Each structure stands twice: as C-alpha cells, then as structure tokens.
Amino acid sequence: RDGSCVGYEQNAEGWVMLGRERDIQLPVVAYGELEASYGPVPLGGQPIRVEAGQTRGFCLFSSSWRGVVLRAKLGDRFEPGEVTDENEHLRLAAGLLPRNDQLYDDTMFTDVYSEDIANAFVGSIDYRVVP
C-alpha cells in the first residue's frame, strides 16, 4: 500500500495484492542460525518500485501455521511503526501481526493479535538503486 501500514492492519482499503501462491514451502531457519537461507516470496514477477523518500507498507500473510518468520525484541517489544532495521537506502519498521487462528486467508485485515505489540521482518531484501 502507498504510505505506512500503521493503522490499516484491519482495513483492506488501499492494499494491493502483488502475489499469491498456494502451498508454498519456505525454508525453515533455526533460532541463532549463522548462515540462514531464505526462500523467495512470490510477488507476481514484477519488481516493486519505491521512489526516494516514499513510504510503502507491506504485509506478508501465510495461511500455514508455520507461516512467515517474524522477529520480536528480546526483553522488550517493538512499537507499531518503530524502525527495526535501516541502511542508507531502506528503513524497515515493525508492524502488527494479523490473527490467523482459522487458517484461512480470508481472515486477513479482520483482527490482529495485539494492537500494542508489533513484530519485525526476518529475511533478506534484494534491491537496487536506480538513478
């Protein structure tokens, strides 16, 4: 979605589906694994363009109980929208976790586990800066 996802976790308006895949199996990464290997997330085969200074919100949702790996802050918690990782080109922020107790993808945007505790992305992002 254009703009931040904060405040839109329970509202489908403005979100655009970029990819969908059934029965995808991502690699399992163990806690503390030094050489983690992540699998690609299908996004429709097209790169996502983010202009300089632009904010984009992303939601990765899995109907599998193993789902997408998330990261919590040890001994504390991430606030929704708190910056978790950044470099000179990208800044990632924590987001709320959609509830998926029923194992159906139609539960997206209906409920979150906690409105006060956010989770951070785990994985790698392949990108290039285009002049």
Residue 84 confidence (pLDDT): 92
pLDDT mean by block of 10 residues, the chain; 131 residues: 86 83 68 72 78 87 66 86 92 85 66 86 84 82
Cα dist from 64 to 39, 99, 121, 125, whole Å: 15, 12, 17, 22
15 vs 100: CA distance, rounded Å: 18
Residue 114 confidence (pLDDT): 85
